[in-house]
Amino acid sequence: MPAIDGPVSQAQPHSFDIRCIAKSCIGSILTLVCLVGNVQAEATQQIIEGSARVVDGDTLEVSGERIRLFGLDAPEKAQSCSDQDGRPYACGMQSKEALEKEIGGAPVRCRVKAKDLYGRSVSQCSVPGIGDVGHWLVQHGYAIAYRQYSKAYVPDEEAAHQARQGIWKGNFEVPAEWRREQRNGAVAARNQAKESFVIPGTKALLGTIHDKVKAMRSHRETHEAGCEVKGNISVNGKILFSPGDRGYESVKIDTKAGERWFCDVEQAENAGWRRAKY
C-alpha cells in the first residue's frame, strides 16, 4: 500500500453540512419570530363591531363608540357645493345619506388605528358586501383622500375625479378649508360682538393695550382656532402637549424656532413629535 502524504480529513464535508443546517434553522426561527410578531400586533389592535349610526359622511357611531373614518375627509353636513350647472346643493348631507343607504342595517367592523384630539377612534371600517367603507366613499365621490394623514385613498380619488363622480361633477371646497373658514368666521363674529359692548372711552385704551401685547408676541404665531396641540422643541427633542397635559399652560410656542401648533395628536405624531415621558 503506498504511503499517504499528509493527514486526510473527512470531517470538512460534515462541518459544511452543519453550517448549512444551522443557517437554515436560524432563517426559520427569524421567519417564525416575524410571523408571531405580526399576529401579536394584529391581536393588540382594537376591533369595534356592531350596527352603525351615520353621524356624517366620515363619522359613524358603532356600539356607542364614535368612529372617525381613517384617511378620508367628507363634506360637512352644513356644507354646500355646486353641481355641473352651478346650482348649489347640500353635498354634506348627500354624503351622509348615501352612506346611510349603502350600509343599511349591515354590521360594521372597524379596526382602530388611533384616537384623535376629540376622543374619536380613527378607524378603517368594512361592511359585508361593500368591503372597505373608505374605499367606497372616495371612489363614488362622496369624500376625498385626506392626504395630510394618509395617501391610501388617493388612487380612488383620482378615479372618481376622472369619472366625475359625486362632488367631482361640479365644484366644491375642500372640507378642511371649509371648516377653517367657519372657525375663522366664528372668531371674527365673537370679536365683533365683544367690540360692540365696549364702554365708551375705553376703546382707545384697549387698542393701546392690544398693540403692546401684539408687539410683545410679534415673534410668535397665533394658532388657528381649534388647533390646540403644542409642538415644543427642547433639549429632550420634539415634545407634544395637548390640553390637559401636565405643563401644557406653561409651554410657549415659538414658530421661528421651528415649533408648531397642531389640530390633533395624530397630526403632531406624524410630523415627528412625541408625548413627554414622565
Q: Are residues 143 and 225 in the same domain?
A: no
For the chain, the domain total comes to 2
What are the pLDDT digits (tens) for 89-98?
999 999 999 9
Q: Report how far residue 231's alpha carbon sits from residue 262's, in angstroms, rounded to the nearest whole number.
A: 7
Which of 146, 175, 204 corresponds to the end of one domain? Answer: 175
Answer whether residue 190 is part of any domain: no
Half-sphere exposure of 118 (CA within 13 A, CB side): 10
Residue 58, pLDDT score: 97
| Whether the Cβ atoms of residue 124 and residue 132 lie closer than 8 Å to each other | yes
Radius of gyration for the chain, computed over Cα atoms and rounded to the nearest angstrom: 29
* 95/155 same-domain check: yes
Please check whether residue 21 lies inside any domain of the structure: no
Cβ neighbours around 171 below 10 Å, total: 12
pLDDT value, residue 68: 97
pLDDT bin (cut points 50, 70, 90) of residue 219 is very low
Structural domain span for residue 227: 216-278
CA nearest to 139, candidates 123, 154, 124: 154
Residue 19's pLDDT band, with cuts at 50, 70 and 90, is: low
CATH number of the CATH domain containing 76: 2.40.50.90
Cell numbers representing residue 186 in the block: 366664528
| Sole residue written with cell 401579536 | 40
Q: What is the mean pLDDT of residues 250-276?
A: 88
Lowest mean pLDDT among 70-74, 75-79, 155-159, 258-262: 258-262
> What's the pLDDT band for 110 if we cut at 50, 70, 90?
very high
